Amino acid sequence: MTGVAGFIGSHLARRLLNEGAEVVGVDNLLTGRMYRIRDLLGHKNFTFYKADLTEYKNCQILCQNQDQVWTLAANMGGIGYITKVGADIMRDNLRININMLEASVTAAVKKFFFSSSACVYPVEKQTLLGVVPLKEDDAYPANPDSFYGWEKLTTEKMCKAYSEDYGLETRIARFHNCYGPMADYGDERGKVIACLIRKAIHYPKETFVVWGDGKQERSFIYIDDLIDALLRLMVNDYSEPLNIGTDRLISINDLVKMIIEISGKNIPIKYDLSKPQGVRSRNADLTLIKKVLGWTPKTSLEEGIRRTYEWLVSVLG
Would residue 194 count as lying in a domain?
no
- pTM of the predicted model, to two decimals? 0.96
Would residue 57 count as lying in a domain?
yes
Would residue 202 count as lying in a domain?
no
- Give the domain CATH number at 152: 3.40.50.720
Residue range 190-207, pLDDT digits in tens: 999 999 999 999 999 999
Contact of 74 with 96, CB cutoff 8 Å: yes
Would residue 304 count as lying in a domain?
no
Would residue 268 count as lying in a domain?
no
Residue range 50-74, pLDDT digits in tens: 999 999 999 999 999 999 999 999 9
Contact of 8 with 223, CB cutoff 8 Å: yes
Would residue 207 count as lying in a domain?
no
Would strands 23-27 and 250-251 be described as parallel, antiparallel, or unpaired?
unpaired
Residue 67 structural domain: 7-180+219-248+279-299
Q: What's the chain's average pLDDT? A: 97
Would residue 36 count as lying in a domain?
yes
Kindly report the length of the chain: 317
Identify the active-site residue in 81, 121, 148, 309: 148
Would residue 71 count as lying in a domain?
yes
* Arithmetic mean of pLDDT, 72-78: 92
Residue range 204-254, pLDDT digits in tens: 999 999 999 999 999 999 999 999 999 999 999 999 999 999 999 999 999
* Arithmetic mean of pLDDT, 175-188: 94
Residue range 13-25, pLDDT digits in tens: 999 999 999 999 9
Q: How many domains does the chain have?
A: 1
Residue 121 is a catalytic residue: no
Q: 78 pLDDT exceeds 90?
A: no
Q: 94 pLDDT exceeds 90?
A: yes
Q: 187 pLDDT exceeds 90?
A: no
